[in-house]
Amino acid sequence: MNAGPVRAALAALALLASASAPSAQPAGGTPPEDIQVEVSRSQAGIALSTGSITVKKGGYYRLNLACVAGEGGDPAFSFDASILLRDAHLRILTVDAIEVYLQGLSFRAIQCEGAGAVSFSFYPMRAGDYAVAVVDQTDAAAPAALRVTVE
């Protein structure tokens, strides 16, 4: 029996076994891109630090929402993210130092009843324009909206 082809086949198998396969997005090693949004209340109503954000479909993001005491006192805001989250894969919800791993789960809204911060990481799964409605829970101020564009 000729050992040449057998050695060549074994060498090819060893080479294939040692090659690393491409990994899916991220396997715990790639941090999300942070997006900061501060919300406060002023004489004019609800104030957002930014009115719109743009993200890429399939990217990994962490939306950091900070409820800040403003001219109108302690914040009491509700963020209705149900339309955006319907087309996203959630990863982690963080409140202070507590992390909730949400793979395969969802939520409809987040409320802050005082100064504080909350964040959630997600993968946008469908291109489109989405609105995260922001409502003041203590008065009849006109709602605001954070516009999220997924490209």
User: For position 91, which CATH number holds?
Assistant: 2.60.40.420
Asked whether residue 142 is assigned to any structural domain, the reply reads yes
Count up the domains in the chain and report the number.
1
Closest CA to 63 of 121, 123, 103, 109: 121
Rounded Cα gap, residues 25 and 6, in angstroms = 37
The pTM for the full model equals: 0.76
User: What's the pLDDT tens digit per position in 61-115?
Assistant: 999 999 998 766 678 899 999 999 999 999 999 998 899 998 778 888 999 888 8
Q: How far is CA 39 from CA 69, 108, 150, in A?
A: 9, 18, 22
Range of the domain at 90: 27-150
Asked whether residue 81 is assigned to any structural domain, the reply reads yes
